[in-house]
Amino acid sequence: MEELRLNNTLVEDQQGEIYAPAEQSKKIFKQHFYIESYGCQMNFADSEVVASILQGAGFGPTINQEEADLILINTCSIREKAEQTVRKRLTTFKSLKRRKKSLLIGVLGCMAERLKLKFLEEEKLVDLVVGPDAYRSLPSLIEEAAGGQKAVNVLLSREETYADIAPVRLDSNGISAFVSIMRGCNNMCSFCVVPFTRGRERSRDPFSILQECRELYENGYREITLLGQNVDSYYFATSQETSTSFTFAGLLEQVAKIAPDLLVRFSTSHPKDITDEVLFTMASYENICKYIHLPVQSGSSRILQLMNRTYTREWYMAKVDRIRALLPDCGISADIIAGFCTEEEIDHQDTLSIMENCKYDFSYMFFYSERPGTLAARRYTDDVPEGIKKRRLEEIVSLQNRLSLESNKRDIGKTFKVLIEGDSKKDSAAWKARNSQNKVVVFPKENHAYKKGDFANVTIMDCTQGTLKGKIIVH
Ligand code: SAH
Ligand code: SF4
Ligand code: F3S
């Protein structure tokens, strides 16, 4: 979601990103894989698990498609456009295969799960189709595919969390890492394909999570984002006999305790599940970042009910008030869908007014895209004309632009402790950093001896809608 967040005003689906080989894997491999990932951060984290499994099977990563013996595309099904992008990429890869007969092409992730055999049988675009819970079978599937068989495993699991697999960090800045704490989703938001592509919710063993986080810290990482579709419902019974267990608040606290200079973030929180206990834990640890992504989807209680979100407009606003009361400096962002089934102008106005009320620092905004098999596709008609969906989305985006700018302007004059992520893209004489509220802060390096991964105190002098501009304060 990184690039999307910078824009603040996402309309398009995320573009695929090409992974660079991990620094630590300079080992010489006889065979190479090239992987592209689409969709949410969890898919990106999965690609790192896949990289680890493939290295175990003798495949090293490459960023050069021409050099690859295996091309994998980790796909997303969340909106139709995401799927179209993948199809285009597959046609490009197929032309590579014409030149190199031994090249294997595989589809991983949510589209693999959704379309299963379709890729192999009807379209003959790929050699391998592997769903999100079947990555351990990749080495044997690659062998089958190399032997000329069509290799498929799209079985979903109730247990798989890849807890014991140490992800190979791909395309990492060496400072920020994502750690998967759970998989799947048990919510049945009527618009959403995720419960079908990712299966039942299950939480990963907390000891393996803590171990991974500790190792990241020891390797120089300074920011960890705990990932799940609904992190607040994390639950792991560690001992049946003593009935000890971990809730999300407990896990968050343990990760925060690893080191005071390790920042902890998490995503995503379903508004219905985020508890006071989590908010209190956030308040107690300075290194737990004061930022909550709290998707609202719509501001209309009628639409929220059709979406099966299980909260009303009023309930959501009360939750935001509670967050602001316990964590006055907390950044809040949202996901918003324009033009869901039966949405009328009055519902749309409710969405605009809830945005004003909650003063989101930024949002990810989409127009509704019907997904086959979802509750909404079965029960309701996708009846808002495309032109109206797009016009409403534009209104939502321009309101968010204003709210983001206002939010950034409120920060002028404030001083933040920020984590330096690297050079500013536009200016190598400036650092790009992030504050606790997850806002990007750029500031001139001047003559100070800071480096990537350091913390700096920066006073904000100016801003745009997407960035805070500051100056280092030396105490
Ligand atoms: N688990 C997260 C969301 C994952 S999907 C949560 O519940 O918050 C990310 C976002 O994509 C959703 O929050 C929603 O805003 C959007 N989305 C999901 N399905 C969609 C659809 N069919 N059409 C348009 N946007 C959709
Ligand atoms: Fe989809 Fe809802 Fe689950 Fe999020 S909580 S992944 S929107 S079903
Ligand atoms: Fe997409 Fe699957 Fe994530 S549908 S948003 S990649 S869980």
Alpha-carbon distances of 422 from 78, 345, 434, 440, rounded to whole Å: 31, 44, 10, 12
Distance 325 CA to ligand 1 centre (A): 27
Strand partners, 431: 423, 443
Q: Regarding beta strands 70-75 and 104-109, do their DSSP bridges make them parallel or antiparallel, or are they unpaired? A: parallel
Counting ligand 1 atoms within 8 A of each CB, the residue from 76, 298, 304, 337 with the most, and so the one to mutate, is 337
Closest approach atom of ligand 1 to CA 229: 1
Which segments of the chain belong to CATH 3.40.50.12160?
A: 5-153
pTM of the entire structure? 0.93
Q: Which residue has the least CA distance to atom 7 on ligand 3?
A: 194
Q: Regarding beta strands 430-434 and 415-423, do their DSSP bridges make them parallel or antiparallel, or are they unpaired? A: antiparallel
Distance 330 CA to ligand 2 centre (A): 23
Q: Which residue has the least CA distance to atom 10 on ligand 1?
A: 335
Q: Show the tokens assigned to 456.
A: 């700096």
CA triple 90-228-273, angle to 5 deg: 140
Quick one: CA dihedral 275, 201, 48, 253, positive or negative? positive
Strand partners, 363: 9, 334
Ligand 2 neighbours (beta carbon < 6 A): 185, 187, 189, 192, 194-195, 229-230, 270
Task: Classify residue 290 by its DSSP letter.
Answer: S
Which segments of the chain belong to CATH 3.80.30.20?
A: 176-409
Dihedrals phi, psi of 71, to nearest 5 degrees: -115, 125
Q: Show the tokens assigned to 429.
A: 């004489």
Q: In the chain, which residues have pLDDT < 50?
A: 1-26
Which ligand approaches the C-alpha of residue 374 most closely?
Answer: 1
Q: Show the tokens assigned to 384.
A: 């808002």
Ligand 3 neighbours (beta carbon < 6 A): 39-40, 42-43, 76-78, 109-110, 193-194, 197-198
Strand partners, 443: 431
Q: Which residue has the least CA distance to atom 3 on ligand 3?
A: 40
Q: Show the tokens assigned to 139.
A: 């080495």
CA count, 13 A, side-chain hemisphere, 36: 24
Distance 3 CA to ligand 1 centre (A): 17
Q: Where do the H-state alpha helices sit in 335-472?
A: 345-358, 375-379, 386-410
Q: How far apart are CA 445 and CA 432, in angstroms?
A: 10
How many residues does the structure list for the chain?
Answer: 475
5-153 topology per CATH: Rossmann fold (3.40.50)
Quick one: CA dihedral 176, 192, 271, 203, positive or negative? negative
Comparing CA positions, the residue from 282, 292, 303, 408 lying closest to residue 354 is: 303
Distance 335 CA to ligand 3 centre (A): 14
Counting ligand 3 atoms within 8 A of each CB, the residue from 15, 17, 37, 43 with the most, and so the one to mutate, is 43
Q: How far apart are CA 361 and CA 472, in angstroms?
A: 23
Distance 381 CA to ligand 2 centre (A): 20
Annotate 4-19 with b (16+ C-beta within 10 A) or e (fewer). Answer: bbeebbbbebbebbeb
Architecture of domain 176-409: Alpha-Beta Horseshoe (3.80)
Per-residue pLDDT at 16: 38
Closest approach atom of ligand 2 to CA 335: 7
Closest approach atom of ligand 2 to CA 195: 8
- Type of residue numbered 114: R
Query: Is the minimum distance from the CB of 271 to ligand 1 under 6 angstroms?
Result: no
Which ligand approaches the C-alpha of residue 366 most closely?
Answer: 1
Query: Is the minimum distance from the CB of 311 to ligand 1 under 6 angstroms?
Result: no
Q: How far apart are CA 154 and CA 335, in angstroms?
A: 29
Counting ligand 1 atoms within 8 A of each CB, the residue from 78, 310, 319 with the most, and so the one to mutate, is 78
Which segments of the chain belong to CATH 2.40.50.140?
A: 415-472
Reduced 3-state DSSP string for 146-203: HCCCCEEECCCCCCCCCCCCCCCCCCCCCCEEEEECEECCCCCCCCCCHHHHHCCCEE
CB atoms < 10 A from the CB of 286, how many? 14
Per-residue pLDDT at 290: 98
415-472 topology per CATH: OB fold (Dihydrolipoamide Acetyltransferase, E2P) (2.40.50)
Q: How far apart are CA 14 and CA 184, in angstroms?
A: 21
Cβ neighbours of residue 307 under 8 Å, at least 6 residues apart? 189, 190, 191, 297, 298, 337, 340, 376
Per-residue pLDDT at 25: 45
Q: Which residue has the least CA distance to atom 1 on ligand 2?
A: 192
